[in-house]
Amino acid sequence: MSDHIITLNAGSSSIKFALFATDGGEWPRQIAIGQIEGIGVSPEFEAKVAAGGKTKRALTGAETPKSHDDALKIIIGWLSETFPDAKIAAIGHRVVHGGPIYSAPMLIDDASYKVLAGFSALAPLHQPHNLAGIAAAGRAFPGIPQVGCFDTAFHRTQPFVNDTYGLPPEHYEEGVRRYGFHGLSYEYITSRLQERDPAALRRLVVLHLGNGASMCAIKDAKGQASTMGFSPLDGLLMGTRCGQIDPGVLLYLMQQKAMSAAAISDLLNKKSGLKGMSGVSSDMRDLEASAAPSAKQALEYFVNRIRRELGSLMAVTGGADALVFTGGIGSNSTFVREHVLAGMEWAGIVFDSAANQARAEVISAPGSAVKVYVMQTDEEAMIARHTIRVAKLAEAPALATA
């Protein structure tokens, strides 16, 4: 019987999970995926079995999870009922921040857990919840290896000019850097391209467009520059995040409007983006269907920001051999892809509108110097693959310094 891997992605009020079988292939096989959302509010359990159906139910009464530990117990209970023969060999965690030092996945022990806890100040909205997930899994599976996979790791190869801000060096030294995020998605896409079109990895721009959105310039399969920086707020317009903003606006809000740090954080993270600009929704499908002028404006801003960043990132890679659209919007929205790529012939991109409408995997015309792919990302598969490798190398965790 094969071993099994659980992947966990713990958020403020949710735990997403997946179960993989390790059959010895290059990629582990996903056999179930699901989540508990609304911990502490109105919790719901949802899961999908690869070879079966979906299940969804509200968690009420004695079942109501009050903490990540409670939620994890429910997940483990469901997994052991549904897959009684599964033997859990390791647990892989999505960890948002590996700080300036971790550029590869690693085994988590007491010492590294403390180091990761020290990065909470860098990502206060995510890191403490990721750590709560690790602690809960440690209690539920004592002695089973736990592997941390960092969303920042892929970007640690970016050169200093794309890693820093124009501040005095002491700020860089204390950790005020352009970390970049969505690294597990970029790593998954580059790994898949390595299998099917390795030439595309020479000069590549990946557009991860989802509720969170970023773009990454990649040269010879290594991250060179990201639209996200110190935090996941920078760069593109997102579901509820503002993206690029002049720091002068923040000074104005603080000095002239007496807004607190908490109020500004709420504005920039939760009340801006597609939702804040349109006043309609954070969901691209709603905006595409809406007749409201504000929805049209938000879409135009979203697309315009992507086009500007595309030019900027192609300047980093010196032109591109390929682009990849991924994420919920990137892999599904024919509308966004069409508007991002129209009139980009100056950059060597010849768009094939019919292929886009047909939802083909390649949406550039045959003669296009830049090949444009549409691909589904799979961060859980990336975590599971890392976890298998790192857990087998328990005596030599892949600790790397940038």
**Binding site residues, ligand AMP, CB under 6 A:** 210-211, 239, 283-285, 327-329, 332-333
CA distances from 274 to 210, 234, 237, 310, 327 (A): 11, 14, 7, 19, 16
Residue nearest to ligand AMP (CB): 328
Residue 288, annotated ligand binder? no
* Shortest reach from residue 3's CB to ligand AMP, in Å: 28
Report DSSP letters for 20-81, one per residue: EEE-SSSSPEEEEEEEEE-TTSS-EEEEEETTS-EEEEE--GGG---SHHHHHHHHHHHHHH
Residue 16, annotated ligand binder? yes
For residue 200, give every residue at least 6 positions away whose Cβ sits within 8 Å of its Cβ, in sequence order, or none: 193, 321, 322, 371, 373
Residue 284, annotated ligand binder? yes
* Shortest reach from residue 283's CB to ligand AMP, in Å: 4
Pick 234 or 379: Cβ nearer ligand AMP: 379
* Shortest reach from residue 284's CB to ligand AMP, in Å: 3
17 half-sphere exposure, CB direction, 13 A CA radius: 27
Pick 7 or 333: Cβ nearer ligand AMP: 333
* Shortest reach from residue 331's CB to ligand AMP, in Å: 8
For residue 23, give every residue at least 6 positions away whose Cβ sits within 8 Å of its Cβ, in sequence order, or none: 2, 29
* Shortest reach from residue 7's CB to ligand AMP, in Å: 16
Amino acid at 329: I
Residue 208, annotated ligand binder? yes
Angle made by CA atoms 285, 381, 146, in degrees to the nearest 5: 125
266 is an active site residue = no
Residue 380, annotated ligand binder? no
For residue 189, give every residue at least 6 positions away whose Cβ sits within 8 Å of its Cβ, in sequence order, or none: 206, 324, 326, 375, 377
- Phi and psi of 384, rounded to 5°? -65, -40
Pairwise CA distance, residues 383 & 385, whole Å: 5
Pick 333 or 387: Cβ nearer ligand AMP: 333
Residue 212, annotated ligand binder? yes
Q: Please, is 26 exposed, middle or buried when counting C-beta atoms within 10 Å of its C-beta (0-12, 13-18, 19+)? A: exposed
Pick 203 or 275: Cβ nearer ligand AMP: 275
Active-site option among 151, 163, 234, 378? 151
CB atoms within 10 A of CB 253: 16
Closest-CA residue to 278 (of 294, 296, 301): 294
Pick 288 or 352: Cβ nearer ligand AMP: 288
- Phi and psi of 226, rounded to 5°? -125, 150
Residue 53, annotated ligand binder? no
Residue 285, annotated ligand binder? yes
Pick 185 or 190: Cβ nearer ligand AMP: 185
Reduced to 3 states (helix: H, G, I; strand: E, B; else coil), residue 209 is strand
* Shortest reach from residue 208's CB to ligand AMP, in Å: 8
* Residues known to be catalytic: 151
Question: Which residues sit in the known binding site for Mg(2+)?
Answer: 9, 379
Question: Which residues sit in the known binding site?
Answer: 9, 16, 94, 208-212, 283-285, 379
Question: Which residues sit in the known binding site for ATP?
Answer: 16, 208-212, 283-285
